[in-house]
């Protein structure tokens, strides 16, 4: 009898165990099912689609090369594997492209934008023509935080920033870009003697102007861009880097001073740091406002997968392109910090930007 009772008890325990296992399995499946359904929904949306990558610069520079590289590889990491087609949209020092993304492009996740790095700062100081809110964009990721550099052509005899306190150096800049702002800020806050020639369509045009002797330097270009687009200039010492713009010295440029290190007062230092902050998002990819959250999440995952993709990294390495990515969430935090600067700092920065 005891044996029979024990057998019944064991059978009941087994049934309870099986019941619990089934319940756990069903619960797990109920949690996974929406994720799978969402993934299927995203894949169904993107399958057969042609996406755009809007590039706010002319062809041939680092913004253009980098955005095209991302376009070639990111599509296969998006569910449904859409094709991404680059589209150059220069104008307004990046404002034209940003406004297009904010007000014209479809808000469905089919349009990406290689945001010009100074757009958060432009918005923060109430820059002209702003129809966008950078915090409304879907921040997908950032490919590098490389510093910007003010550089001199080798024939000028200028090899260090101290030379520009005593000798005028003419630098070229695309209209309304940081390439004009950085040397102007140094003129106003540290008494350097930069002469700024703005109005070039893009950075490549400034490079050609240096070769022709039309200007003696470039008001800004990223370290990553110099390495990828003009490695022979670096090897042949055709250019000298005078100042780097960022919040810490790049390990490959330990002897090039940071712009804010040249400040003559704590107040000026704070302003120069503000003007330098967007270097942390120097090559960000964003998408339009209003995209369904599941598509934003898929685009962010695709970007992060692209940054680890062997073929992508091999092509970047072949062209000498620096890849030091940050996530979309981290990139957006930088934009939040820029827009949150004090009114006094914003006012002084705007004075510098608007000065001619």
Provide the pLDDT for residue 32: 47
Same domain, 134 and 229: no
pLDDT at 175: 79
Q: Indicate whether 181 and 266 sit together in one domain.
A: yes
Q: How confident is the model at residue 20 (pLDDT cuts 50, 70, 90)?
A: low
The pLDDT value given to residue 211: 96
| Same domain flag for 73 and 134 | yes
pLDDT at 52 over 80: yes
Domain boundary at 232, 262, 278, which?
278
160, 266: one domain: yes
Find the mean pLDDT for residues 61-74.
95
Q: Which pLDDT score, from 0 to 100, does residue 19 have?
A: 53
Q: What mean pLDDT do residues 98-116 have?
A: 98
Are both 120 and 155 inside the same structural domain?
Answer: no
Q: 166 in a domain, yes or no? A: yes
Choose the final residue of a domain: 278, 296, 328.
278
**pLDDT at residue 140 above 50?**
yes
Show the CA angle centred on residue 350, arms to residues 349 and 353, nearest 5°.
90
Beta-carbon contacts of residue 291 (< 8 Å; ≥ 6 apart): 107, 108, 109, 138, 299
Does residue 19 lie in a domain region? no
Has residue 17 been placed in a domain?
no
Q: Domain limits at 164?
A: 148-278
Nearest to 239 by CA among 295, 177, 169: 169
- In this structure, the answer to whether residues 269 and 152 fall within a common structural domain is yes
- Structural domain total, the chain: 2
Residue 221: inside a domain, yes or no?
yes
211-224 pLDDT, tens digit each: 999 999 999 999 98
Non-local (6+) Cβ contacts of 201 within 8 A are 58, 90, 174
pLDDT at 327 over 50: yes
Q: Is pLDDT above 90 for 145?
A: no
pLDDT higher than threshold 80 for residue 14 = no
d(CA 35, CA 293): 13
Name the pLDDT band for 176 (thresholds 50, 70, 90): confident
CB 49 within 8 A of CB 110: yes
Of the listed ranges 29-38, 46-55, 66-75, 199-208, the least confidently predicted one is: 29-38
C-alpha 60/C-alpha 72 separation (Å) is 16
- 172 and 140, same structural domain? no
pLDDT grade for 111, boundaries at 50, 70 and 90: very high
Whichever domain contains 322, its CATH number is 3.40.190.150
* Same domain (yes/no): 264, 174: yes
Boundary-marking domain end, from 278, 308, 333: 278
CA atoms within 13 A on the CB side of 226: 25
> Is residue 92 domain-shared with residue 178, that is, in the same domain?
no
Cα end-to-end distance, the chain, whole Å: 103
Mean pLDDT across the stretch 313-328? 93
Residue 350 lies in a domain: no
Mean pLDDT, residues 17-21 taken together: 52
At residue 356 the predicted structure's pLDDT band, cuts being 50, 70 and 90, is: confident
Q: Are 153 and 201 contained in the same domain? A: yes
Tokens 């827009």 locate to 339
Q: Which helix (H) or strand (E) holds 209?
A: helix 203-212
Question: What is residue 1's predicted lDDT score, i.e. its pLDDT?
Answer: 47
- Which is more confident, 152 or 61? 152
Decide if pLDDT at 15 tops 90.
no
Work out the mean pLDDT of the chain and round it to a whole number. 90
Evaluated on CA atoms 201, 204, 207, 213, the torsion sign reads negative
Is 11 a domain residue? no
Does any domain span residue 39? Answer: no
Whether residue 40 lies inside any domain: the answer is no
The CATH code of the domain that includes 205 is 3.40.190.10
**Residues 121 and 181 grouped into a single domain:** no
- The pTM of the whole model exceeds 0.75: yes
- 155 and 218 in a single domain? The answer is yes
| Rounded mean pLDDT, 40-66 | 94
Residue 277, pLDDT > 60, answer yes
Can you tell me whether residue 288 is helix, strand or coil? coil
pLDDT of 6: 47
List CB contacts of 302: < 8 A, sequence separation 6 or more.
74, 77, 78
User: Residue 187: its pLDDT value, please?
Assistant: 98
Name every residue whose Cβ is closer than 8 Å to that of residue 163 and which is 6 or more positions away in sequence: 157, 169, 242
């Amino acid at each position: 009898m005891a044996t029979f009772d024990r057998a019944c008890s064991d059978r009941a325990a087994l049934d309870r165990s099986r019941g619990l296992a089934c319940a756990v399995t069903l619960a797990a499946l109920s949690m996974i099912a929406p994720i799978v359904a969402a993934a299927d929904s995203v894949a169904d949306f993107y399958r057969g689609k042609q996406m755009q990558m809007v590039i706010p610069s002319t062809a041939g520079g680092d913004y253009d090369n980098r955005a095209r590289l991302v376009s070639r590889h990111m599509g296969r990491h998006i569910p449904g594997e859409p094709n991404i087609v680059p589209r150059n949209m220069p104008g307004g020092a990046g404002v034209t492209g940003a406004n297009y993304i904010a007000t014209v492009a479809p808000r469905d996740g089919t349009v990406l934008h290689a945001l010009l790095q100074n757009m958060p700062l432009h918005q923060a100081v109430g820059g002209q023509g702003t129809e966008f809110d950078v915090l409304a964009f879907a921040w997908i990721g950032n490919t590098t935080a490389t510093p910007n550099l003010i550089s001199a052509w080798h024939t000028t005899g200028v090899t260090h920033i101290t030379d520009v306190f005593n000798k005028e150096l003419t630098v070229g800049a695309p209209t309304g870009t940081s390439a004009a702002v950085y040397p102007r800020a140094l003129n106003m806050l540290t008494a350097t003697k930069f002469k700024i020639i703005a109005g070039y369509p893009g950075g490549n045009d400034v490079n050609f102007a240096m070769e022709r002797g039309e200007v003696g330097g470039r008001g800004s270009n990223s370290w990553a861009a110099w390495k990828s687009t003009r490695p022979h200039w670096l090897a042949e010492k055709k250019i000298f880097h005078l100042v780097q713009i960022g919040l810490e010295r790049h390990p490959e440029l330990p002897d090039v001073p940071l712009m804010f290190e040249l400040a003559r007062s704590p107040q000026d230092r704070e302003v120069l740091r503000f003007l330098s902050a967007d270097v942390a998002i120097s090559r960000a990819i964003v998408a339009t406002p209003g995209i369904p959250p599941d598509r934003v999440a898929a685009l962010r995952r695709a970007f992060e997968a692209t940054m680890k993709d062997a073929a992508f990294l091999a092509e970047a390495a072949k062209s000498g392109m620096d890849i030091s990515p940050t996530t979309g969430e981290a990139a957006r935090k930088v934009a939040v910090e820029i827009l949150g600067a004090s009114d006094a700092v914003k006012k002084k920065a705007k004075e510098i930007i608007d000065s001619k």
